[in-house]
Every structure is written in C-alpha cells, then in structure tokens.
Amino acid sequence: MKILVTGGCGFIGSHTVVDLLNEGYEVVIVDNLYNSKIDVLDKIKKITNKDVTFYQYDLCDYEKLQEVFSKEKVDAVIHFAGLKAVGESVNKPLMYYENNLFSTINLLKAMKSYNVKKIVFSSSATVYGSPKSLPIKEDFPLSTTNPYGTTKLMIEQILTDLYKADNSFDITILRYFNPIGAHKSGLLGEDPNGIPNNLMPYIVKVATRELPILNVFGNDYETVDGTGVRDYIHVCDLSYGHVLALKNSKSGLKIYNLGTGHGTSVLELVKTFEKVNNVKVNYKIVERREGDIASCYASNDKAKEELGFSPKYNLEDMCRDSYNFVKTNQ
C-alpha cells in the first residue's frame, strides 16, 4: 500500500514515515521544506534501511500536486503539512489561512479527481478552546482563540462537508495533545529555529545553556502546583497512532484524541527532565501567557477502544529522548 505523506520531513511526519516503512508501507513525501531539512530523508533511510520518494513541492501549487497523484497512484494520504506557530498566526493571519487552507483544498481536490478516498488529518487539541471539564472528550464543544486553531477547525469542517457530499470517503481526524520526545536513535526530533514557543524545546535549550532561563508562565492556576497542566505524549506513540488509523480505516468520518490521558504541570515536567538527564533547568515564575488555559488533558478511551491505541512511553522517556536528540545533534 502506497501512502502520500504531506509534511513528511517535519517533526511528527518524519516519525510517522519511519513507522510506515517499518510496517511495510511504501511512502511518498511531499514537503516544501519550509520548516524542515532535506537531511531528514537520509536519517529516515539510516533508521529503516528503506527509501522514500520525495517531492519538494508546495501543496498550494495544484499542478505540481496533480503531477504527484498522476505519477504515484497512492492509496491513502496522511496530511501533516501546515504552519503551526500560534503567535505567528496572530501576527500573520493571511499567511496561515492561505497556506493551511489552500494546501488542504488542493489536496482534497486532487484526491477526489484521482479517486483516492482515504485521508488521515492532523488536527489539534487547540480546537477545544477552554474545555468545560476534564478529561476532554471528542464530542466537547469546539472553539478557537487564534488563526492557527481556526485553520484546524475550518479544515475539520471542510472534511465533514466533503464526507456528507460523498460518503465513500474514509476520513480520520486526529486531535493531538502535546507531542514531545524524539526518536530513540537521536536522529529525528524537534529542532525549532530561533527562540522556541513551546515548553519542551525551551527546557532543552535552557539545559544546554543556549538560553539562560525558563520563564514559567504563571503559578496561580488552579492546578496541582499552580502551573499549567498539559497532556504530553511521546512523538513515537503519536506517530504510531497514524498507522493504527490506517489499519482500522473504513468509510466514514472518525475523530480521535491522541493523548496519554495524564496531565503534567510545567514544574513536574521541569523536575522530571532534571532528574532523568541529571542537568539543571533554571526557571523563574513570570506573568501568565495570554490565551493559555489552566489544564488540558485527553480522554483517549475512544482511540483505545476503536484503534487499539495504547501509548507506551512515560514522561521520563519523553524527557530523556528530547534531550538525547539535541545532545546528539549539537
């Protein structure tokens, strides 16, 4: 079975490509390398000893996309490609709407005209806005607070409407919680340019002394120690969720949370990171970050029951693997 992976050179996409190759799927990647590097392809080969077909194309270019579909005869698509920085999306909304929506509409148009009906889409827990209770279930109300989140919600709506119009489509929407960690080889991981927005990449840069101190955004939330609580999930557990989604696919529109179901506070994450890596992470408490919520963690019962999803890595593994990736690539 041949799978088109858009954004396959990125953080989550590259780990998923490894899983797909290990499971015997053929893989075609389309990525414009806007937020990734070409050497990821060599690293995937090193880990799996298998080749992928790669097109450095922008999904917003419909003609190029048609060329891929006409040459490759893919059976299914996993759609990771997109821009994902929340703060940037607030400052550059048109760039986010243009890239994330045009690319997806082009992809769906090409799928329809080449009769490819199976797609797995990367959505985010951000579509739950500020949840009314915890853990978050798939049928909770949806809302967003920034253009990035709105693109995810809009794409979910587009997929829903597409399925209503043609129910031979097989659509799986995966709502990720907070992916961290890295491949155990140290070859694949998350390496954001500049100053990271997300917690784990920031912690890593403080641990390696690239950044002086971690700003902890608020310690007056109603949580175990006052700091924000999130559901961190190892990227390898998350990536395997996509293989399960493909294996369990059948016509329909299905939505699953991919998280561990456990909440961890900022300070709990910092302490665990320090302990397993035997390194100091200096931090100071600062004001809350605008738009942040106190707590967010998944109910993953649906993914467990219907997909057989079963995360196997714990917080210590996530901290160890995140640090190992950066140390290996320094």
Interaction site with ligand UD1 (CB under 6 A): 86, 124-126, 149, 178, 197-199, 202, 214-217, 228, 230, 266, 289, 291-292
d(CA 116, CA 114): 6
SS3 297: coil
Residue 126 is given by DSSP the state G
**Which residue is closest to ligand NAD by CB?**
10
Query: Which residues of the chain form contacts with ligand NAD (CB under 6 A)?
Result: 7, 9-13, 30-36, 58-60, 80-84, 99, 103, 122, 124, 176, 179
Q: Say which entry of ligand NAD, ligand UD1, none residue 141 contacts (CB below 5 to 8 A, set by partner kind).
A: none
State which residue, 186 or 226, has the beta carbon closest to ligand UD1: 226
Q: How far is the CB of 156 from ligand NAD (least distance, A)?
A: 12
Helix (H) or strand (E) holding 5: strand 2-6
Q: How far is the CB of 86 from ligand UD1 (least distance, A)?
A: 4
In the complex, minimum distance from the CB of residue 128 to ligand UD1, in angstroms, rounded to a whole number = 10
DSSP alpha helix (H) spans, the chain: 11-22, 40-48, 62-72, 86-91, 93-97, 103-113, 147-165, 199-207, 235-247, 266-277, 301-307, 315-328
- CA 148 to CA 213: how far, in whole Å? 27
Q: Is 148 a catalytic residue?
A: yes
Neighbours of 24 (CB within 10 A): 8
Which does residue 289 bind out of ligand NAD, ligand UD1, none, counting CB within 5 to 8 angstroms by kind?
Answer: ligand UD1
> What's the min distance (Å) between Cβ of 319 and ligand NAD?
16
Torsion of CA 107, 109, 111, 112, to 10 degrees: 160
Compare residues 218 and 241 and give the one whose CB is closer to ligand NAD: 241
* Selected catalytic residue, list 128, 148, 202, 232: 148
CA distance 37 to 288: 33
326, interface contact from ligand NAD, ligand UD1, none, CB < 5-8 Å by kind: none
From the list ligand NAD, ligand UD1, none, partner contacted by residue 311 (C-beta under 5 to 8 A by kind): none
Query: Cβ 178 to ligand NAD, closest distance in Å?
Result: 6
The continuous run of DSSP H or E covering 265 comes out as: strand 264-265
Closer CB to ligand UD1, 52 or 266, in the complex: 266
Say how far apart CA 179 and CA 208 lie, in whole Å: 21
Closer residue to ligand UD1, CB minimum distance, 53 or 215: 215
Coil, helix or strand at residue 300: coil
Task: Confirm if 307 and 165 have CB atoms less than 8 A apart.
Answer: no
Residue 172 contacts which entry, ligand NAD, ligand UD1, none (Cβ below 5-8 A, type-dependent): none
Would you please indicate which residues are annotated as catalytic (active-site) residues?
148
